[in-house]
């Protein structure tokens, strides 16, 4: 048995790895809400990258923190660190 990669989503009922289907392949639970959370977190990370590119570091940080609360990923964690660092640098005199 191999461990899921960090940040991998899983069924909230049986912890089976999420495979992108609306129903859990192991227990049959409805995963529609999980899919919506993952999609929303993805869009928030995309928005954070776009805001960062335009220099709006504080809004980018808020977006990525929201995304991480919905679905924490290692990439999101790195993006949060970048946004936080950029925010501190842009706030420095
Ligand atoms: Zn399940």
Instruction: State the alpha helices, DSSP H only, in the chain.
Output: 32-53, 57-70, 74-91
**Distance of CA 52 from the midpoint of ligand 1 (Å):** 37
Q: What is the pTM of this model?
A: 0.82
pLDDT, tens only, 14-25: 999 999 899 999
pLDDT, tens only, 42-82: 999 999 999 999 999 999 999 999 999 999 999 999 999 99
How many residues are there in the chain?
A: 93
Listed residues: CB within 5 A of ion ligand 1: 11, 13-14, 16, 24, 26-27, 29
Contacts of 24 (CB under 8 A, 6+ apart): 11, 13, 14, 16, 31
**Distance of CA 53 from the midpoint of ligand 1 (Å):** 38
């Amino acid at each position: 048995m191999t461990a899921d990669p960090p940040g991998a989503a899983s069924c909230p009922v049986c912890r089976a790895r999420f495979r992108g289907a609306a129903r859990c392949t192991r227990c049959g639970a409805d995963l529609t809400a999980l899919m919506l959370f993952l999609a929303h977190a993805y869009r928030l990370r995309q928005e954070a990258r776009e805001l960062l590119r335009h220099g709006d570091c504080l809004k980018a940080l808020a977006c990525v923190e929201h995304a991480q609360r919905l679905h924490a990923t290692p990439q999101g964690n790195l993006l949060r660190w970048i946004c936080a660092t950029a925010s501190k640098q842009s706030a420095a005199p």
